[in-house]
Amino acid sequence: MTYQDFGLVNTNNMLNKALKHGYAIGAFNMYNMETFKAILAAARETQSPVILAVSESALDYMGDDILMSMIRWANIKPNENIALHLDHGHSYEICARAIDMGFSSVMIDASKLPFKDNIEISARVAKYAHKHNVSVEAELGVISGHEDKNTKSDISLFTHPDDVVEFVSKTNVDSLAVAIGTSHGAYKRKSNSETLRFDILDEIDKLMPGFPIVLHGASCIPDVLVDIINQNGGNIKNAAGIPIEQLRRAAEMNVCKINVDSDNRLAFTAAIRETLNQDKEIFNPRDYLDAAKSAVYENTVGEIINIMNSANRLRNN
């Protein structure tokens, strides 16, 4: 089946509209029924376009058939502007498999390869994806952080604007993830004064006006969620995210897709810890998983409104 059969859309129109009007589309990671239902309900409640992001490891965890059965169950309509996106695909093969399965958008992340090899593999993915009208994101520069076995790097190599022009012209990708100081996971900033490299975004915009830029590692890591975890038996120390004002500023510039995973991981975990701690007799998993689902829903609604500024954008803008 193709993604159109599932009522999904690719990300091209939604990103271009967001860019034009100075907001961003949230790409929220999903990995089970709870996160899927919560993110979908948040998008529907706020009348916002949304990108359902599925990493390679999340796909392994759910299994292709279970994921696509949930998507089919949701009865998504094209005017809801919902994309199903492969997050950090590390090979041509996984991107092609996702496209064949019904994903409407893929990311080929070959950013750790030499520039020339990154171009070669990204161009190959773009060629296959475009044959199926699927949108393609690639990555240039290295976004640091420790999150899982597939997505980790110790360094943050800022993206060079001149490279962006060459990379995009040689690969034909539709959007690009850049390294401007964000990082994956819950430990992002060393000091409060650290800011994102807006000068790099500016320079890219001068060289390639209207080209969609993506921000990975963009969770804001709400203190309130970290506190709930720590007050209920957790031990997350020195967590720090990207300040909301900086994300908003980026969204008003050429950043039109903002990736969030860690914030919802914190929301999910905080709700489970709190529920179990408040009632020590609970042992029905539905009790705490339902609380986790609600927490992811609340967090996603909040971020759609306060960070992405994408609520009520389904019609003209």
Among 11, 12, 29, 104, binds ligand 13P (CB under 6 A): 29
Residues 224-263 close enough to bind Zn ion by CB under 5 A: 259
Least distance from C-beta 280 to ligand 13P, angstroms?
31
Residues 77-116 close enough to bind ligand 13P by CB under 6 A: 87-88
Among 26, 49, 89, 217, binds ligand 13P (CB under 6 A): 217
Binding residues vs ligand G3H (CB under 6 A): 29, 55, 57-58, 87-88, 147-148, 150-151, 184, 216, 261
141 binds ligand 13P (CB under 6 A): no
**Tokens of residue 252, six digits:** 């008003």
- State the Rg of the chain over Cα: 19
Among 18, 140, 260, 291, binds ligand 13P (CB under 6 A): 260
Contacts of 25 (CB under 8 A, 6+ apart): 11, 14, 15, 18, 49, 50, 51, 256, 257, 258, 308, 310
Contacts of 130 (CB under 8 A, 6+ apart): 136, 172
Residue with tokens 């409640």: 45
313 binds Zn ion (CB under 5 A): no
Least distance from C-beta 253 to ligand G3H, angstroms?
22
Q: Which does 219 bind (CB under 5 to 8 A by kind): ligand G3H, Zn ion, ligand 13P, none?
A: ligand 13P
90 binds Zn ion (CB under 5 A): no
Residues 203-222 close enough to bind Zn ion by CB under 5 A: 216
Q: Which residue is nearest to Zn ion (CB)?
A: 216
| Binding-site string for ligand 13P from residue 144 to residue 183, where x marks contact by CB under 6 A and - marks none | ---x------------------------------------
State whether the Cα torsion 100-260-313-256 is positive or negative.
negative
Of 65, 87, 100, 227, which one is the catalytic site residue?
87
Least distance from C-beta 16 to ligand 13P, angstroms?
21
Our answer to whether residue 87 is catalytic in this structure is: yes
Q: Which one of 117-125, 167-175, 205-213, 255-263 is the stretch in contact with ligand 13P (CB under 6 A)?
A: 255-263
Q: Under a CB-based contact definition with an 8 Å cutoff, are residues 80 and 59 in contact?
A: no
Least distance from C-beta 260 to ligand G3H, angstroms?
9
Least distance from C-beta 210 to ligand G3H, angstroms?
26
Q: Which does 17 bind (CB under 5 to 8 A by kind): Zn ion, ligand 13P, ligand G3H, none?
A: none
Catalytic residue set: 87
Please report, as ranges, the residues that interact with ligand 13P according to CB under 6 A: 29, 87-88, 147, 184-185, 216-219, 259-262
Q: Which residues contact Zn ion by CB under 5 A?
A: 216, 259
